[in-house]
Structure 1
Amino acid sequence: MSETSKIIDNKKLELNAKYNNAELIREGILAGIPDIFDGIIVNDTTQYPKGGEDGGVGKFKEIIKKSLDFWVENKRRGIWIEIPESHSILIPTLVENGFSFHHCQSNYILLTKWLPINNGEPNKLPQYTSHFIGCGGVVINDRNEILLITEKQRPDKWKIPGGANDPGEDICQTAVREVFEETGIRTEFVSILGFRQLHNYAFNRGDIYFICALKPLSSEINSDPSEIAQCKWAPVKEFTEIETPFPLQKSVSRLAYDYCFNGYKGMKASAVANSLRPGNSFVYHGSDTDFEDLKNN
């Protein structure tokens, strides 16, 4: 370990001992995990009061006041507090103390407060996820036929199969899974031929759609009747000539033609070690460089 890494690790331990300990809780201050941006993440919900006639609200008001005083005194910046559904009665207290809603999941809501705002420094806390991720599979067999579907909602509009990325799933896995679920065709990832970014897609979020080249490992179609109206293998050239109201699918057909007939390869996926947590991540690129030595470091 380098001297710089040792210094960083020691600093991390020092901050954690100061802001995330049982003594703080006994003093009526919320313990939280210090982040690298001088913020505090409060996600240990066992320290929240509950019970009594007011459900713990009165006690929580005292705790929040003491916690904010402590964090301001120690020049903390962004505060993140996770409130589970079981303690939702505490949310108004946070709002009264200047916290804002950041995002909500099925079992919690996260609120934030930017402390340096009184000094005129603009709020630098990152917003919640800005994009949805979707993947479509360009599956072309050795007869230069491409796998196409129509959805039940639009049974006459031909397109490539695909769908949304699941949490924790790599892009190169999403297209393979979605193609199999929709068509029954097994495939393996080859490359990303391109991607489309769309703003204001849903819930005022954007959408990034990756167009993935996949190699078919089977040929017999067994489509999902709950989602798919029609599914077929069609000549790639036929796909480029299909009338469609979707400019995206027109662009996909041109990339598919270029991939099939003109030697276009797109961007392959190379696994590299993840520096933030165990396991690999993927770099997508068109280079011939070797990334093998960067795996599992």
Structure 2
Amino acid sequence: MSGKTDIVLSSSWFNKYVADEDSPEGVFRGLSDRFSGITVDSNRETCKSEEFSETLQRSLSYWITKNKRGIWFKVNLSCSHWVPELVHNQFKFHHAKDDFVMLYRWLPKDEEPNIPPYAHTMVGVGAIVMNNQNQILVVNEKHALIKGSWKLPGGYVEPDENFVDAAIREVNEETNIKTRFESLVSIRHAHSAGFGCSDLYIVMALIPESMEIKKCDREIDKCMWMSVDDYLIHPEIHETNRNFLRTYLEYKKMGLKISCKNEVHQILKKQYNIYSLDCSQNKSSTL
């Protein structure tokens, strides 16, 4: 979970986001999200052309007093005259489809913008980090979808970043634990995720090279080393995450791992990674 995950829009966000009922008269109500953001849809909130500028100014002033963060405007074709005024007020383009354009503005002055890039497939990583005391590293996010739940450290892959590097970086950013790659464990593929994109979640096994946890105060509420036995029965851990650990333990039992090898394309001369089953450990143990 990096900063890139801070703002997430779902394809069904109308049903998941709650209108700001406390908004005063004369401002856009918008839809509030769990990251203290607001999304205004021009199909849901109409505004006369001659009134838009004043309404926008009042809304921005109100949102600033309420410590709102990411402000999103989904501007449909019928209200495209909103766009110049939004751009004039420091809004930036994020993505567009046939009948709308999405613009955003990051309000906090003391916080770097945490707006993820738009794409048809979002790619995230999670990390199974197990120490020699049979404990696994777990985190509790400040903005967890299920409050109080424990999950694997991780987040979105940055542009031009390898999966392995992303997993190592995310673990270090969230917990200050240094790690090295051991094996790819599993891949979860889903659809209709953030921004209506497909979603790839790649789980890596990493070997810890340090033990002292120092959590990221911005993103993480709690983190700790949890015993594997507790993890496998803990009520605040999703069954999917337990299955990732079971898969990893089964690999170790069978002496298997999925290794990562760097290759260079013979024509393009570009580096790429190949992930493949490595049975060498299993073979050596049977000799």
Indicate the TM-score class for this superposition, using the shorter chain for normalisation: 0.5 to 0.7
1:221 corresponds in structure 2 to: 213
Flag the structure with more relative contact order, 1 or 2, with Cα contacts below 8 A and sequence separation at least 6: 2
Alignment of 1:15-30 (within 5 A): none
Q: What per-residue deviation string (whole Å, max 9, x for no partner) do you get for residues 182-238 of structure 1?
A: 000000111111110011112221101011000111111011011111111111121
Normalised by the size of structure 1, how large is the TM-score? 0.51
Please tell me the residue identity of whatever aligns with 2:230.
E
Contact 2:140–2:148 at 8 Å: present in 1 too? Answer: yes
Q: Name the counterpart of 2:171.
A: 179
The 1:219/1:210 distance shift into structure 2, 3 A limit, reads: same
Give 2:208's aligned amino acid: P
- State the one-letter code of the partner of 1:215: I
Unmatched tracts of structure 2, length 5 or more: 1-96, 104-117, 281-287
Query: For residue 162 of structure 1, what is the aligned residue in structure 2?
Result: 154
- Following superposition, the deviation at residue 178 of structure 1 comes to 0.4
- Residue 153 of structure 1 and its aligned partner are, at CA, apart by 2.1
Measured in 2, the distance between the counterparts of 1:174 and 1:250 equals 22
Instruction: Give a deviation string over 1:54-109, Cα, whole Å, max 9, x none.
Output: xxxxxxxxxxxxxxxxxxxxxxxxxxxxxxxxxxxxxxxxxxxxxx96x9999xxx
Aligned-residue offset at 1:130: 3.0
Task: Please give the TM-score of this superposition, normalised by the length of structure 2.
Answer: 0.53
Q: Amino acid of the residue matched to residue 142 of structure 1?
A: N
The reply to whether residue 282 of structure 1 matches residue 273 of structure 2 is yes
1:189/1:215 contact within 8 Å kept: yes
Aligned length: 170
Letter in 1 for 2:137: L
Task: Answer yes or no: is the 8 Å Cα contact 1:175–1:212 preserved in 2.
Answer: yes
1:100-147: CA deviations, max 9, x gaps?
96x9999xxxxxxxxxxxxxxxxxxxxx95311000010011111110
Partner of 1:57: none
Partner of 2:256: 265
Q: CA contact under 8 A between 1:182 and 1:228: conserved in structure 2?
A: yes
User: Which structure 2 residues correspond to residues 226-237 of structure 1 after superposition, within 5 A?
Assistant: 226-237=218-229
Unaligned 5+ segments in structure 1 are 1-99, 107-127, 290-297
SS in 2 for 1:167: coil
| Structure that is richer in helix per residue | 1
In 2 relative to 1, CA 214–153 (structure 1 residues): closer, same or farther, beyond 3 Å? same
Distance 1:250 1:276, change over 3 A: farther
Offset of 1:258 from its aligned partner? 2.7
